[in-house]
Chain A
């Protein structure tokens, strides 16, 4: 990343109330050019409200939103011209064909989109041959693909995808994941991705923010955030009882998370793994495997269940 990367999205202390109900209390984050930015939070955390606010579907109660360096309130049309989005379900006009739907949204996208571009995009998302079919006969996955097509049709700089893999089968999820990576790597797009599938964020996002109960808890580089804490290390041994005794008698700073007959789970830093292995082996414990992981899911659950 360059020394001073361009901020594509700047959200500062965003809040949104619906009457007495506080949907978003204090959310702040920055997305830089070229990021695949993960927007993570449990259900009801305020993800969709925040995304709708970024797209001017909802007016914020408080806070400041800048996209492409400009305030959203005063530059709505300029900003929206540079954004492609899917908000929650990909809903289209069921009585129109896929091609007609795409043309409807392309016409008001702010860009001049030719028929050949429409057909190229239909092919890009794998809907070639179905463009003349009405949407009433489309599966959820096909609608999602069309949603991606309408989000990309005007070649936007920023793509906002709110839960894009919801309701998709495993192959559909892989396809969307590959598509997002393709957008970042081949087209140099910035992507804001909200998802409840944590492994998805872990696999494709380079930066992320975690929000809970309407507040942003932490943001930063995904790898840095995951490595900042202790790993959850799973060790397969011949006798966990003996191993626990040895580890407890040692002066090492470790926490035994769980164990059964042969599997022991510890919370330790990455640097401590060789020392633990050495200690167990020197004391006659047979170590069959050691696997250290800091899964985003663990990290996410720890943060959101405080």
Chain B
């Protein structure tokens, strides 16, 4: 019954027009970024290389697909949570708003199975979003700009990664980005269990992300203790895969924090959904 319910959830997500907003927005945004960089990318790259030009000489194709993918990932990963929450925040509350939850929960399937079905479908949707992002950011960029070494500017300085050493880093980076987005999906699903309309969970999810991000970036000692515990602090963990050497301990720590968030939020969602009186 669980798999039949999950299949139902896939059909619902696939049939909802709002599910395509995310894919459309990513396509449009990446299209605009690639077009702009194709037209005037060297100026953009010079912002990165300028501070080092007195001590280093740069050769080869600096404006390549790998660099484009990194730039795009850095730009969009902050905004994609909204596109994910647009669908996952609607999974339970959308049924309540439509009234279909009455029919759904009078069927012989446990409430926790219904919720896990929705969660699994939400994770699958998030996966599709990430894969689409990867295809456009990495695949299409390489077709347009060709390949080359990746130049990354981070807090420690400039890191240059050989093109043969980049693909596994992107795959790992996208995998961690997926986990970060699954955390966002879990948060919005949890809010969704408390709400009777779709807007509330989506807005609440974004409000939490904005609040936590502000707390994470404010250099105030009072937040030092809680900053490492906020999931938003670890949403940029994908970037660690583009450091040399790899900060394994930091990556593992980020993975643990994100997974713990998913488990705790899901437990709250299950408890609420199982004990909820359906009054809509």
Contact = CB atoms under 8 A, between A and B. Distances in A.
Interface of A: 18, 52, 55-59, 76-81, 83, 85, 87-89, 91-96, 100, 104-105, 107-110, 150
B98 A94 contact: yes
Nearest to B2: A108
Contacts of B106: 55-57, 80, 83, 85, 87
A109 B103 contact: no
B277 A59 contact: yes
B249 interface: no
A63 to B, nearest CB: 15
Contacts of B105: 55-57
Given A58-B278, A107-B7, A108-B8, A93 B107 contact: no
Interface in B255-280: 275, 277-279
B108 A93 contact: no
Contact of B107 (A58, A91, A100, A110): A110
25 contacts: A18-B277, A52-B277, A52-B278, A52-B279, A55-B106, A57-B105, A58-B278, A80-B108, A83-B106, A87-B103, A89-B99, A91-B98, A91-B99, A91-B103, A92-B100, A92-B103, A96-B12, A100-B11, A107-B8, A108-B104, A108-B107, A108-B109, A109-B107, A110-B1, A110-B108
A96 B12 CA distance: 8
B39 interface: no
A107 B105 CA distance: 13
Nearest to A108: B107
A107 B100 contact: no
B15 to A, nearest CB: 5
Contacts, number: 81
Given A91-B100, A93-B98, A150-B103, A104 B11 contact: yes
B276 to A, nearest CB: 9
Given A59-B275, A109-B107, A110-B107, A95 B15 contact: yes
Q: Which 5 A-B pairs have the closest CB atoms?
A: A91-B99, A57-B278, A81-B108, A77-B108, A80-B108
Contacts of A92: 100, 103
Interface of B: 1, 4-5, 7-8, 11-12, 15-17, 98-100, 102-110, 275, 277-279
B278 to A, nearest CB: 4
A91 B110 contact: no
B15 A96 contact: yes
B236 to A, nearest CB: 35
Contact of B277 (A57, A100, A108): A57
A58 B101 CA distance: 12
B110 A77 contact: yes
A52 B12 CA distance: 25
Nearest to B105: A57
A43 to B, nearest CB: 16
Nearest to B102: A87
A197 B109 CA distance: 33
A81 B17 CA distance: 32
Contacts of B104: 108
Nearest to A52: B278
A57 B102 CA distance: 7
